[in-house]
Amino acid sequence: MKLNKIVTGMLLVSSVLTITSLASNDMTKWIMPKTAPSPANNKTTKKRVELGKLLYFDARLSKSGQVSCATCHDPKKGWSDGRAKAVGVFGRVGPRNSPTILNSAFQKHQFWDGRAKSLEEQELGPMQTHVEMDMKLDDIVKIVKSKKAYVKMFKKAYPNEPLNIKTIVKAIAAFERTVISQPSPFDLYVAGNKNAISANATMGFSLFIGKAHCVDCHDGFNFTDGSFQNVGLGDDDIGRQKLKMKRKAWSHAFKTPTLRDVEKSAPYFHDGSVQTLQEAVAICGNGGRYPKKYGTSDAIKNRNLTTKDIEQITEFLKSLSGPDLPIVAPTVFPN
C-alpha cells in the first residue's frame, strides 16, 4: 500500500472511532436547563430578583462603603474579578481566588471547599469576613431598613416575612438563581448543529470525554459532578480537609468548578495561580503541577496529552462560552 493510502486509511479509522465514541456518549446530559431550581421557602419571583440585584450591587452594605458582591463577582469579568486572590474592604487581600457565581444555583455545595450548603447560607460568609465586606449582620439589616425604598420593596417581595438578615440573603440568592449561562456554540452543537463548533473543538470534545478523562469530574450540563478533588497544585491550602481533619481523601481537595464561560474568568484554580486555559488543561490532564508534594486524587493521572491535544481541548473549552447575560449594573440605589 502506498503511504498516502495508509494515511487515508488511518484517518478513516480514527474518524470512525471519534464518531462511535461520540455516538455512545449520552448527549442529553449536556443540555443546559433554562432556569435554575429554587427552594420551597424562596421561590424565584420577579420582585425578589429585582430586589436581590440591587442588594448584590450595593456597596453601602460593606464596612468601607465601597465593596459589593459585584466587586469580586463582576458580570463583566465572567462573574469573577480577574484577580488571583480576592480583594475586599480597605484593600485587604483574601486567601483564595474568587470563583464565578455563574450557574452556582445548580451546585450542591458552595465555596471552593463546599462549606456552605445553599446560596442563602453562603452569603453570610462574605458579609462578615474581615477581608471581604467586614460587617456585622445587624448593621447590614440596619442599613437596609434605613432606606424607605428598600423597605417597600421587601414588603412586596416577601409580604409574609419580616425584613431581616434572612430575607436579605434570600433576595440576593433569588437574583443569583437567574445568573445562568447563555446558549454557547457547544449548546448549538448538542442541539444537532454539527458545524456550530470548529473541527479542532470537536476533536477537543472527544478528547475531553475520552483519552483525557476530563469527564471523570467535569461531567453533566454544568461540567462538574460536584466532587472534591486534589489536582496536585502543591500549595499549602488543605482545602476541604479543614472541615473534617480525619478525612484523608479531603486533603488538598477543592470543588470541581464549572467550565461554562470558563474563558472569561481567568486566572484559574482556588489559588488563582494559573493564567491560561492551556496551563489549566495540562495540570488537570497530565497528572498535576507538583503532585509529589501533597499527592493527587486517583482520577488525576498523566494522560500523556500532547501540545496538540491541549490546544484542541482548549478550543473545546472556548466553545462553552455563551454571550454575557444582559445584566446592567444599577447606578442608582434605593434610599
Q: Among 178, 184, 241, 256, indicate the residue that binds ligand HEC (CB under 6 A).
A: 256
R_g over Cα of the chain = 22
The count of chain residues that interact with ligand HEC, using the rule CB under 6 A, is: 54
Catalytic annotation on 132? Answer: yes
The catalytic position among 120, 132, 176, 279 is 132
Nearer to ligand HEC, 57 or 192 (CB): 57
Dist CA 58 CA 52 (whole Å)? 10
Which amino acid is it at 132?
A: E
Q: Among 38, 42, 44, 98, indicate the residue that binds ligand HEC (CB under 6 A).
A: 98
In whole angstroms, what separates CA 291 from the centre of its chain? 24
Which window, 37-45, 101-109, 153-161, 322-330, contacts ligand HEC (CB under 6 A)? Answer: 101-109
Least separation, in Å, of the C-beta of 160 and ligand HEC?
A: 24
Dist CA 57 CA 333 (whole Å)? 9
Least separation, in Å, of the C-beta of 6 and ligand HEC?
A: 30
Lookup: cell for 268: 484559574
Which amino acid is it at 190?
A: V
69 phi-psi bin (left φ>0, alpha ψ -120 to 50, beta other)? alpha
Nearer to ligand HEC, 127 or 153 (CB): 127
**Burial letters for 216-229: b for 16+ Cβ neighbours within 10 Å, e otherwise?**
bbbbebbbbeebbb
* Degrees to nearest 5, angle at CA 116 with 226 and 80: 70
Residue 87 CB contacts under 8 Å (≥ 6 apart), including other chains: 71, 72, 81, 93, 94
Q: Does 277 bind ligand HEC (CB under 6 A)?
A: yes
Dist CA 200 CA 307 (whole Å)? 13
Q: Among 285, 288, 322, 334, indicate the residue that binds ligand HEC (CB under 6 A).
A: 285
Q: Among 75, 126, 185, 234, indicate the residue that binds ligand HEC (CB under 6 A).
A: 126
Q: Does 157 bind ligand HEC (CB under 6 A)?
A: no
Q: Does 53 bind ligand HEC (CB under 6 A)?
A: no
Tell me, residue by residue from 18 to 47, as one string, x for binding to ligand HEC by CB under 6 A and - for no binding. ------------------------------
Site for ligand HEC in 207-236 (CB under 6 A): 212-214, 216-218, 229, 231, 233
Residue 323: CB atoms within 10 Å: 10
Lookup: cell for 186: 457547544
Q: Among 25, 59, 94, 226, indicate the residue that binds ligand HEC (CB under 6 A).
A: 94
- Expressed in angstroms, the distance from the first to the final Cα of the chain is 81
Contact footprint for ligand HEC (CB under 6 A): 67, 69, 71-73, 86-88, 94, 96, 98-99, 101, 104, 107, 110-113, 119, 122-123, 126-127, 132-133, 172, 212-214, 216-218, 229, 231, 233, 254, 256-257, 259, 262, 265, 268-270, 277, 280-281, 284-285, 297, 299-300, 313
The residues annotated as belonging to the active site are 132
